[in-house]
Structure 1
Amino acid sequence: MLLYERLAESLRVQIAQGVLRAGERMPSIRQLAHGHGISAATAVQACLQLEREGLVVARPRSGYFVRAATPLPPAIRPPRRRVPGSVSNPALQDVLDMLARSDLLPLHSATPAPALLPQPALAAALTRSLRHSSAAALDYAPPQGHLALRQQIAKRYAQVGAAVAPDEIIITAGAMEAISLALRTLTAPGDVVLVETPTYHGILQAVAALRLKVLEVPNLPGQGIDVARLEQLLQQNTVRAAVLIPNFNNPLGSLTSDANKQSLLESCAKHGTVVIEDDIYGELAWSGQRPSPLRRWDRHGMVISCGSFSKTLAPGLRVGWLAGSAWTDALVRAKYFSTVGSASLPQLAMADYLQRHDLERHLRRLRRTLADNAQRMHEAIARHWPQGTRASEPQGGLSLWLQLPAGGNGYALFEEALKDGIGTSPGVLFSSRGDYADCLRLSCGLPWSGRLDIALRKLGRLAARQSE
């Protein structure tokens, strides 16, 4: 038996006997090498072997940890609604009430914590823009947005193989305004819009505000959009637009494969359905391999791409965009009639930041931290939540989707958690008619801390009471 195999077997036995417990930090590489009289390279090889076996997990800058038992993924359930209908979900109002509170541990907010964002660099960019371009910063922006920022966004698309010209980019107040503008431009009240289920509640609110009907296509945990079902729905219904989140869907975190992205685009083109792509999480692939936006595979000019810096750089600056394809002129007019133009100072500052800093370097740190947070949360759920709790295993984004054991009620848990100062998002928010009553979404955008660990223990105890 080779030296690394002997060490791996010794550690394997310690894990099996509970000497090294689930979630516990392994001895460092230096400690293993010194304690067993071997080289650091041999110790690393042993740990890599245990990682391949799924017994340990590596955390950036922290070392190796014994992997806790992983909860099963949520069960796949078809939506109750199989025909177009209006959004009818009173719980959507609760989102606005909760967002007004500043006293909660924000496990309900799918945004990175401020500590994970480059605040000093962004503050410096704002200061420079105000000092050196005060006239432009304090004046109206062009309805389409400042050219310097549109050029930077076009460069990001080019880096992932998507051809987007600066002239078709329109700057918006976040991705939600982009989606709303696209829907308002493409549809009329009573039209049918395809959305995923579960999907982000903001999309449902936008659809409801425009008096549109929804048709729900399943998003499958770990698989993404159900393209076979999407084709069936388009065959059976006249659908004007589809609002889709193929890259790390909110709330499941599922990634739709490149092959399925191409299939769904072909289906939509064949049936005359315009795709509004919400790619707000595409930059947050925990592996570091940024998945392609739908725009890369668009051969028919049927995709309007929406994005934002809210999940990667600065939620409060509200800098988003859409790439309007053939609808650019109509979308610029809609933007002008809506808000004239987005605020100038955030645009100029964002362009300044992107010109001066390596965005990819920041994203590498952010992705590693989010992946680490999600792993720690998984382990805490496995240890402290009732048996039978299921949890998604996303590959990116900011969300964990949980399914409670039989008898669990995500909304009741949400209400009890508020009393303890903990924000969560009940599953009923993520469907047009309040499905997923036994589910909830948690954000992995908070840095791991003792407070977060205690909150997850509390939530586990509250969930356990429901099944007593």
Structure 2
Amino acid sequence: MKLYEQLADSIAKSIQQGTLCRGDKLPSVRHTSFSRKVSTSTVLEAYYLLEARGLITARERSGYFVTSGGISIPSSPEPAMQADPELTRVDVSELVFQVLQSIRVKNIVPLGSAFPSPLLFPRASLARTMASSIQTMDPWSSVDTLSTGDANLRRQIALRYMIDGLHIAADEIIVTNGALEALNLCLMAVTRPGDTVLIESPTFYAALQSIERIGLRAVEVPSHPKDGIDLEAMERAIERHRPQACWLMTNFQNPLGSLLSAEKKQALVALITKHQVPLIEDDVYSELYFGEKRPMPAKAFDTEGLVMHCSSFSKCLAPGYRVGWVAPGRYAQSVERLKLTTTISASAPAQITLGRYLQKGGYDKHLRNLRHTLLVNQIKFVEAIERYFPQGTCLTAPQGGYFLWIKLPDGVDALKLHQLAAAQGISIAPGPIFSAQRSFTDYIRLNYGHLWDARIEASLATLGKLVSNLMPQ
């Protein structure tokens, strides 16, 4: 463990034990450097790490203050009690559509949305890049980009893999209409109707809808809000149900926000390799990390081409452009042929624009600003929930992404809360839409990826009152 990590852990322990309380000011960087006999850079790194964990926050010209309070992290989601996950016929689409109807209303407070605010992205810069790209666009590019995608964009994606030490050639990448198409193509490449797919519990509802649409069955494996999927339960499920594929999020999972450690990702890949089960890795949030560097995907540990790594620019750069990609490993030919027989290609102008934007530079600066905004938002949301929600509320404070997974007090119905909140002009995502078995009836997911303002704070206060009113007397 590095010196700054040791210092951060020491301070974190003081916070958890109550020696340092919410609102307390930490000693100055210079004072801590002197008292702990470490460099100022070590202290700064430790404070940055604590800030990334949501334990402290910086106030301009005032220093660092403790932000953690009485909200606790739930020990494990409900399905963790299941020793042997059962097969489930998926039938959630109607419920999901009913819930999502409220999110589409323009004036509603979008705490239930799956997308961050479009105001957080460099729209003007992208527009200028698109304008110049279209003017100089080679007429033949609309043909050249068929199936696999624009060569320059694929090269830029490959370069970002390379920076992280992951060597995937540009020719191994297929550009898609967002990550969802990439995920669906992968699912169709390795399954047939009636097959079984292993998923996390809870899981993103789009995975459930895809499984339902293709006519597959799901086996849900419990996943922890902090550490991610239970690998022992996953192996038992593989041995019992022999799934044809796994669909998992390894970085800042939706809805939990969980992050698998590098060691756990390596163990995950070893497990699927042992049983020769392909892994569809949904990795759309990895750029939105709050730590020092982007977490590696499970794909980094794949030596046999079993991991199909899917991602996109929709959550981190250009939501409306619908440009994603997949590095499908040994399944490249099947995925490419499916792409040709479905949507043929992603938008050529959008691909060229994003390729040139990445080539010019500025993307990483945008990401640093975006990550900072999301981290500050998370701290404000957690503080507001602590302030307005009743005792018995639990939540996670993830190390990236923009979702909070919240356990409501016992007896509070998340679907009923959704209905009452919608009537007040507030959207939330109730827990049952994240489970094939419609579990998590007293959980909700909130999106903190929108600019903090008085309206959002008032909405959280209203939600807190609604939760209190729904508690059993």
Q: Given the two structures, how large is their TM-score scaled by the length of structure 2?
A: 0.86
Q: 2-side partners of 1:113 and 1:357: how far apart?
A: 23
8 Å contact 2:56–2:67 — kept in the other structure?
A: yes
Equivalent position to 1:340, from 332, 335, 344? 344
Q: How does 1:158-307 map to 2 (within 5 A)?
A: 158-307=162-311
**What residue number does 2:71 align with?**
71
Structure 2 CA distance for aligned equivalents of residues 55 and 423 of structure 1: 25
Tell me the amino acid that sits aligned with residue 206 of structure 1: S
State how far apart, in whole Å, the 2-side matches of 1:362 and 1:59 are.
Answer: 20
In structure 2, how many angstroms separate the alpha carbons of the residues matched to 1:138 and 1:124? Answer: 20
Residue in structure 1 matching 2:368, options 352, 361, 364:
364
Tell which deviates more after alignment, 99-108 or 250-259.
99-108
How much has 1:43 moved relative to structure 2?
9.5
After superposition, what is the alpha-carbon deviation per residue over 1:220-265, rounded to whole angstroms, capped at 9, x for unaligned? 1211111111111111121110001011111111111111111111
Q: Could you tell me which residue of structure 2 aligns to residue 457 of structure 1?
A: 461
Amino acid of the residue matched to residue 58 of structure 2? R
Instruction: Tell me, in whole angstroms, the C-alpha distance in 2 between the residues paired with 1:309 and 1:463.
Output: 35
Q: Secondary structure at the match of 2:139?
A: helix
Residue 60 and residue 257 in structure 1: after superposition, are their counterparts in 2 closer, same or farther (change >3 A)? farther
- Asked if 1:426 corresponds to 2:458, the answer is no
In the alignment, which of 84, 89, 112 is matched to residue 87 of structure 2? 84
Partner deviation per Cα, 1:190-232 (whole Å, 9 max, x = no partner): 1110000111101110111000010111111211111111111
In structure 2, the residue matched to 1:3 is: none
The Cα shift of 1:296 comes to 0.6
Question: Is the partner of 2:378 in helix, strand or coil?
Answer: helix
5+ residue gaps, structure 1, are: 1-11, 30-39
User: Which AA in structure 2 matches 1:85?
Assistant: T
Paired amino acid for 1:433: Q
Q: Deviations over 1:306-358 (max 9, x none)?
A: 00001100111101011111111211110011011111111111011101123
Q: Which amino acid aligns with 2:189?
A: T
Question: In the aligned structure 2, how far is the partner of 1:55 from the partner of 1:463?
Answer: 24
Tell me the alpha carbon deviations over residues 58-79 of structure 1, each in whole angstroms, 9 at most, x when there is no partner.
2375854452514111241225
Superposed, which structure 2 residues align to 1:300-319 within 5 Å? Answer: 300-319=304-323
- Partner amino acid, structure 2, of 1:58: T
List per-residue Cα deviations over 1:133-156 (Å, max 9, x = no partner).
Answer: 173577784111111111111111
Q: Does residue 402 of the first structure (1) align with residue 406 of the second (2)?
A: yes
| Counterpart residue type for residue 78 of structure 1 | P
The 2-side partners of 1:170 and 1:433 are apart by 33
Identity %: 36
Quote the Cα distance in structure 1 between the aligned partners of 2:381 and 2:244. 40
Question: Which stretch shows the higher mean deviation, 146-155 or 259-268?
Answer: 259-268
2:79 alignment partner, SS class: coil
Aligned residues of 1:140 and 1:343 also touching (Cα < 8 A): no
Distance 1:65 1:177, change over 3 A: same
Q: Provide, for residues 361-386 of structure 1, a one-character-per-residue CA deviation record: whole Å limited to 9, x for no partner.
A: 21111112111111111111111101
* Distance (whole Å) between structure 1 residues aligned to residue 431 and residue 353 of structure 2: 37
* 2:149 paired residue among 145, 151, 157: 145
Matched, 1:129 2:130: no
Is residue 75–residue 224 contact of structure 2 (8 Å, CA) maintained in 1?
no
Aligned to 1:111: 115
Distance 1:93 1:317 in 2: 23
Answer whether contact 2:374 2:402 (CA < 8 A) is retained.
yes
What is the alpha-carbon root mean square deviation over aligned residues?
Answer: 2.9
Which amino acid letter does the alignment assign opposite residue 265 of structure 1? V
Residues 102 and 422 of structure 2 are in contact (CA less than 8 Å); yes or no, is this contact kept in structure 1? Answer: no
- Counterpart code for 1:460: G
Q: CA deviation at 1:100?
A: 3.1
Count of residue correspondences: 440
| Structure of greater Rg | 1
Partner of 1:101: 105
Alpha-carbon separation, structure 1, partners of 2:188 and 2:55? 50
SS of corresponding position for 1:465: helix
2:387 maps to 1:373: no
Change beyond 3 A, Cα 1:238–1:135: same
Question: Tell me, which stretches of 5 or more residues in structure 2 are unaligned?
Answer: 1-13
